[in-house]
Amino acid sequence: MKLPIYLDNHATTPVDPRVLDAMMPYLTTAFGNSGSRSHVFGWEAEAAVDEARHQVASAMNAADKDVIFTSGATESNNLAIFGVARAYSQKGDHIVTGKTEHHAVIDVCRTLEKEGFRVTYLDPDPTGRISAESVTEALTDRTVLVTLMLANNEIGTVHPIAEIGGVCRARGILFHTDAVQGFAKIPFDVESMKVDLASVSGHKIYAPKGVGALYVRGRNPRVRLAPLFVGGGQERGLRSGTLNVPGIAALGKASHIGLSERDEEASRLRALRARLLDGISGALPGVTLNGAPLPAIEPDGGLSPGEPEHRLPGNLNLSFAGVEGEALLMGMKDVAVSSGSACTSASLQPSHVLKAVGVDDDLAHASIRFGLGRFTTAEEIDFAVAATTAAVRRLRELSPMLSARIAGPVDRA
């Protein structure tokens, strides 16, 4: 086992060697501009983009032409939300979203509020889910967009996307999902789930940083967007700019691998996650599981028959009573984890996601997000259990009066 070990795969993932192999030709010999139609270098680049577009589309059951390549999730979310709001402003001025969304969604909505739009921020239930019923109650005759993530980046909770999509479709309201954390990891089908726009990012699925995509439904209904960038007309005029061919080829390959290996990988990660939770909770009192309950699994990590799963297979978010999260992170030598979203890791404020699901400030500050991934091993999990347990015990010893009040098994609710 090589130290340090990496358990922060929700923040970013290492590039899969197979993905690196797929992109290397477009960094070296096949370096053409995909917009150059007069020579073989451009043709090779264009062919790579077309293949990647098909691979990304196939991973979500979309039409190839409805996939627009971007620089990543933040741009995709911005293009979707700003694009719909401004293109449909004559029809309505109301948007529905959730309090547990990533800041790449929440901050866009706050900006639109300054422009005169009205935004409803829905409360999740204690597990982090937002129901189709709560979405229905929030809709008005002026609602033009509902934007809710597929799976939460901090607590891993999966929303009932198909039910929410059905509500929106029945009302003629566009539905966007930030699918970044769940894409190519859990089942996601834009047709059966009635999703109109979906954001994905390469570096969450073992491709490089700096490349992503936005699914924009082309028919039934056809979605109109006001572009963020103009000049060149690439990507149906919705995202002008020379295409990042190496990154796009990598995103395509990563999407293909994710889809083809998704179920097997999910089972393996569930088994490792159970090993991690059982190891920590068996050694420490005062541990709380944040987010959706873990499903019952078979020994190989497969779901038990009829057992629902409302959580990403590789996610485990725990709060440790009697410790401070930042001190715990520093005390867990050689284990790379986080206390929340990587985009807000420098903030001293408690996680807005944990606050939204009712976690008090002390426990929110004492939370750790473990993100298991494709290259995580059982040996690494055992090391993480030992490191976490030792660090928590050491910190609790510094507050003996508080530690004396901590007792009981892990709260799995």
Which architecture, in CATH terms, is 5-10+262-404?
Alpha-Beta Complex (3.90)
E strands, 291-412, in order: 315-320, 335-336, 367-371
Give the residue-averaged pLDDT of 397-408. 64
**Among residues 343, 378, 398, 404, which one is catalytic?**
343
pLDDT in tens, 288-339: 999 999 999 998 899 988 888 999 999 999 999 999 888 999 999 899 999 8
Please give the share of the chain, as a percent, with pLDDT higher than 70: 94
Q: What is the length of the chain?
A: 413
The answer, yes or no, to whether residue 280 has pLDDT greater than 70, is: yes
Give pLDDT, residue 399: 74
Residue 168 annotated among the catalytic residues of the structure: no
pTM of the model: 0.94
Class of domain 17-256: alpha beta
Give pLDDT, residue 308: 83
In sequence order, what are the residues at sequence separation of 6 or more whose Cβ sits closer than 8 angstroms to the Cβ of residue 346?
none
pLDDT in tens, 216-255: 999 999 999 999 998 988 988 899 999 999 999 999 999 9
Please say whether the beta carbons of 52 and 249 come within 8 A.
yes
The total of other beta-carbon atoms located within 10 Å of residue 333's CB is 10
The answer, yes or no, to whether residue 188 has pLDDT greater than 60, is: yes
Sequence ranges of the domains in the chain: 5-10+262-404, 17-256
Confidence band, pLDDT 50/70/90 cuts, at residue 346 = low
Please say whether the beta carbons of 205 and 185 come within 8 A.
yes
Higher pLDDT, 365 or 177: 177
Q: How far is CA 5 from the centre of its chain?
A: 21
